[in-house]
Structure 1
């Protein structure tokens, strides 16, 4: 019972926090894959093993200067100043895509539903943000300024790709509130704050409708964990990870989530067909001592171009780099974008690129 002598705002806050969440767990459309090594039966697994080799790998002169990127320093604090391709579009059948920084997007579908993707407006959730700065040498990023209250208020749904701190923020959930429906991979609900949130947990290849938009959860090649002190407990791969396909008015938008390259891109294309708009990561693949493992779970720019080809993307919007990224596993804020432009030419990629700076938006 709430103390009747507490100030009214505090009573309202406590009542909200005490409201249990509503959790709907969708039934799988196919068998869920779990790890079978070391006796684990509760940890999810990728569809494919780590690749032995990759179709394309840049090995030298991977970051040449570009006339299309203007920087204050060497590949740091940059803006893309090149021309983006023009598309003949039907205003009634466009995805309105706004890049909010790092992996966060606001997408309004052709049928008018606004959906937030991996919204993280600040740093990592406390106390991990403090630990990364004071114990790990500094991981603060420049915080996005593109989030407007109206953007949050308009959201009909929020989707998450996986539970890592740069993609899933409890503080943002509390800002957004319990009006939208939250679509998540399996086993996410226990990580939510309480407050009457409507949560739909989804296995791969399942669908949930948001208004007239079909939202489909699809595979990615990644991993998950939330606990950062393994000696105390271990939650490795106990929550699922993946990407999303939005189907609206006969058009499709694909968000890859964090992912390495594997056969899952061809699988997604086989099931859903060509993608009109693809939001694909290009960063966090470089690491001095763990390079092979980093690339296993993140796309290089050349991997991203190949994935876009396999999905037959009408246009690709890259993300993961930028002035508001954490630069985890990157040379600099924009090194991945320099490499992407270079490799597009080297590979003679025919997939159109539409390159946004943080806070910009486009109708496609």
Structure 2
């Protein structure tokens, strides 16, 4: 009897501690008169979000053969694996006031003209749990490089912007490192996936906007999908991209996305883009390549998107020694294909190739 009472007391105490640690988040929703919300309206799938441009995809160009030739400015330890770009990194004189640091994969630190610091899809260390646990099992996920930022860097953060829920873009462990001081911006219905710790969250629909200091944060479409759990949450939260604007200067972060007409739509609404951070990886799969490309741009798709956005400079991401290497031949095969297809297509948008950890002021 005494033991039962002690056990009950321990359980009650644990519950009280856990309750005390759980602090409700503050959540605001930005929709606006010009917002677009694309959802299924009937049937068993009612309420699930969907892409603007669905159905069979037609791609402007596709590399058919010899897509990954070695490049003299990509130095590798083995063919297309564990590489470093050693070529020139010409910085266009854009005078935007934005500085960009690529941490790896999809994670960026952005310093803005009004002296703010933004984090884009920050995932530091490894993937979020449980994928970080699963990766230790032989060959499931290869990610030898660990993107990091110091505690001092994270403490300067004013806002965190997320594109979607996948474990390589949305990390509870990283949120705990960043803390509750910044405001967290994300697409609609993602706030329920945040840990309850007193975070300030703003959810946005496509073509909605928020003000942050002198910045305007536009949530715009991407062509992707969303899920976090094994069951029943497929596309229950929206996904998207971010357009960060200051005095007419614009930085675009595409998030994970396949190619579709949404790129042209964005340019028509907002005009030419100064800085485009575009993904070029995770499009290849031996048995399901059509699906992978449907939701991830190939390097040539990204080059086409950059032309349609009228980017003044394109910074590619997704390749690298810290990449998933799921949907890729190797760590730097996407970069080799990008450089090859840029030459083949003779595209006019300048490329600025970074290695993980590099910074540039534009």
TM-score by length of 2: 0.92
Distance 1:16 1:254, change over 3 A: farther
Q: Is the 8 A contact 1:161 1:258 kept in 2?
A: yes
What pairs with 1:294-333 in structure 2 (closer than 5 Å)?
Answer: 294-333=292-331
Alpha-carbon distance between aligned partners in 2 of 1:63 and 1:52, rounded to the nearest angstrom? 24
8 A contact 1:123–1:140 mirrored in 2:
no
Alpha carbons of structure 1 residues 86 and 19: separation in structure 2 relative to 1, 3 Å: closer
Q: What does residue range 205-220 of structure 1 map to in structure 2 within 5 Å?
A: 205-220=207-222
Q: Does 1:55 align with 2:60?
A: yes
Partners of 2:184 and 2:223 in 1: CA distance: 22
CA distance 1:37–1:261, change in 2 (3 Å): farther
Structure 1 residue runs of 5 or longer lacking an equivalent are: 1-5
Structure 1 residues 37 and 294: CA distance shift in structure 2, 3 A: farther
The Cα shift of 1:234 comes to: 1.4
For the 8 Å contact 1:129–1:140, the answer to whether it is kept is: no
For 1:69, the equivalent position in structure 2 comes to 74
Is contact 2:242-2:254 (8 Å) kept? yes
1:232-271 equivalent positions in 2, closer than 5 A = 233-271=231-269
Deviation for aligned residue 1:15: 7.7
Pick the aligned partner of 1:24 from 20, 28, 31: 28
Regions of 4+ moved over 4 Å: 13-16
The structural deviation recorded for 1:128 is: 2.9
Match of 2:93 in 1: 88
Give unpaired runs (5+ residues) of structure 2. 1-9
- Correspondence list, 1:107-186, <5 A: 107-134=110-137, 137-186=139-188
Task: Tell me if structure 2 keeps the 8 A contact 1:146–1:358.
Answer: no
Classify the secondary structure of the residue corresponding to 1:266: helix
> d(CA) in 2 for partners of 1:342 and 1:24?
45
Query: 1:253-297, CA deviations, whole angstroms, 9 ceiling, x for partnerless residues?
Result: 000000000000000001100000000000000000000011000
Deviation track 1:13-62 (CA, whole Å, cap 9, x = no partner) reads 96873221101112343341113575321100100014432110000010
Report how far residue 198 of structure 1 moved.
Answer: 0.1
Cα root mean square deviation, aligned = 2.1
Q: Deviations over 1:202-233 (max 9, x none)?
A: 110111111111111000000011113xxxx3
Separation (CA, whole Å) in 2 of partners of 1:303 and 1:318: 12
Partner secondary structure for residue 72 of structure 1: strand
TM-score (norm 1): 0.91
Task: Give the corresponding residue for 1:203.
Answer: 205
CA deviation string 1:181-215 (max 9, x = no partner): 00011111111111110000111011111111111
Asked if 2 retains the 8 angstrom alpha-carbon contact of 1:113 and 1:213, the reply is no
**Cα offset, 1:140, TM superposition:** 4.1
Match of 2:270 in 1: 272
**Contact kept in structure 2, 1:216 and 1:246, CA below 8 Å:** yes
SS at match of 1:94: coil
CA distance, structure 1, for counterparts of residue 361 and residue 251 of structure 2: 12
